Structure 1
């Protein structure tokens, strides 16, 4: 069955995603913003709040950072962060339960035994995060993300759904499944170059890298930097050649390379971020990649990125 594409935008999404990027300490080195961004943000936070965020365990994180709730939020509360947080805080217990049941990740429902408590904690943390960090960057980011969402909404009208999703996510190839699946596409900045996803009961919500950074004249783009870094390693080049011969499972890549699974995973992550590798997803869940292969047009893409910089 085909995918139903929905493009969405609300400033509240980025509030959640920015907090997710900061709390996910193991990912800092892999983000375009880098470790320096996390250090600067931490220094700008109240010490008690910074300590509180550091104590949020991975298993509790899913109960606090639930951006998919915004998808089912009434329109009147979606376009202003303060209005959204006040609305969420005022929801009766039954409505809170219904909201989480219809729009939270499936694993969130398994981890969060007390949804009312999870809601209260999330509202408190998000309010503090907004006051101490996100408010300062919102006026710059919000218009750019809104414009990106509108442009992609127009582009999606005449696009093949699978091609469109792959283009926005730098290589995530969703293959049709038995039931029609709604895929909600939302631009995000803080977690770039990665996409973030929420698999709910009736939708796949993908927060794709918006690529809204302004490139200074004479400096390479982030896309070109990712590309050159990915190609600077011999093992990655060998893996690319192996993937150019056809679709491969993760186990096949491990056997071919002779490297540890964790090392292969690291290399595939770098190649994926550079836009060189396609990940085939067969069951509608991006967390379960089925096969890896070289993306079509890779040599042309490399040439375009380099030529664009040299000839600007």
Structure 2
């Protein structure tokens, strides 16, 4: 049935906020080194992580073993979202003074506004609420075990662990390079902040994250962008009440802030991807509407393996994605090209 839309209301979207701190880098570093399945996919090579582990003090290694078993890096990130901490001392003091029930509530994952009462009851020690949270998150890779641990943890030991692992990692890894880290994180933060009023929210999120399309969803009124270096090239998504969080990989030009000629990696990838006649033909086909691989091969009369190769390049450049078994053009990414080029030329 056709619908005539005479509504004057605009489609609701979210507000984008940007923040940065070396403390996020500290917590994410702890998460990275204890995430064995993903560590080989990080930008820093496997040799870097092996050599790093060999150089770490025994006390830190013991705490990292605990992180790898219990996934307490999640608790660190949850706690860091509670306020803007100026330094590690302020953060550790905050943990020390938190009542145990409040600490438990903060560390438990946010799983939706309608489940906040269950989360609160679980933090107060109600076993049925804990089990309900575990059931609600049963399809998540580690949430059920993490929830059970947080609800049953010895408060004093948990506080000691969180404080120790942050302090030990900061002293061993962050402190010696803190000036450089603070410089590049702040550079990227300033770049993204400058674009808050120049790009629509969805466009800004896709540009900052290097291609993540995040559409507005009910009860999410804010998106928080936090630059990180240690987890490049990955974006890490998280949810807190009313907010979607993206810990996004800082751009190439932020890593070399004194070199004004370093272009953003995705800007280069996009232009390379479009610098080919076949790929431009594919883009035009997808501009018309989404298509299957078979549709594209028939339209262009080119072998399926060749078309698949070109589509891989377009996907790597975040210009094309797969939706419901069809290839779809990421129009926002295409529309942003001129703005990204202008930003690079004027930086």
Whether TM-score is above 0.5 comes out as: yes
> 1:246-301 CA distances to partner (integer Å, 9 max, x unpaired)?
7879xx78xx9999xxxx9xx97x97664444578xxxxxxxx9986343466996
> 1:52-101 CA distances to partner (integer Å, 9 max, x unpaired)?
535644x621565542422222x4xx010232123213312133134335
Is contact 2:227-2:247 (8 Å) kept?
yes
**Counterpart for residue 36 of structure 1:** 47
The answer on 1:245 being equivalent to 2:286 is yes
Which of residues 207, 210, 214 in structure 2 aligns to 1:167? 207
The answer on 1:207 being equivalent to 2:247 is yes
The answer on 1:45 being equivalent to 2:52 is no
Gap change, CA 1:207 and 1:95, over 3 Å in 2: same
CA RMSD of aligned residues (A): 4.4
Rg: which structure is higher?
A: 2
**Aligned pairs, number:** 274
Gap change, CA 1:202 and 1:293, over 3 Å in 2: same
Which of residues 227, 247, 250 in structure 2 aligns to 1:187? 227
**Counterpart for residue 91 of structure 1:** 98
> 1:181-228 CA distances to partner (integer Å, 9 max, x unpaired)?
2111111111112111111232111111112222999x9978279949
Distance 2:284 2:235 in 1: 22
Gap change, CA 1:140 and 1:131, over 3 Å in 2: same
Structure number with higher relative contact order (C-alpha < 8 Å, ≥ 6 residues apart):
1
Gap change, CA 1:222 and 1:25, over 3 Å in 2: farther
Is contact 1:11-1:81 (8 Å) kept?
no
Once the two structures are TM-superposed, the CA of residue 16 in structure 1 deviates from its matched residue by 0.9
**Counterpart for residue 328 of structure 2:** 293
The answer on 1:72 being equivalent to 2:82 is yes
**Counterpart for residue 4 of structure 2:** none
> 1:15-74 CA distances to partner (integer Å, 9 max, x unpaired)?
1112222222332332222223212321221246336535644x621565542422222x
Is contact 2:220-2:244 (8 Å) kept?
no
**Counterpart for residue 7 of structure 1:** 18
The runs of 5 or more residues in structure 1 that have no matched partner are 232-236, 281-288
The runs of 5 or more residues in structure 2 that have no matched partner are 1-11, 112-136, 298-303
Is contact 2:27-2:73 (8 Å) kept?
no
Counterparts of residues 204-243 of structure 1 (less than 5 Å): 204-211=244-251, 212-214=254-256, 223=265, 227=269
Distance 1:42 1:67 in 2: 22
Is contact 1:23-1:53 (8 Å) kept?
yes
Distance 1:161 1:34 in 2: 34
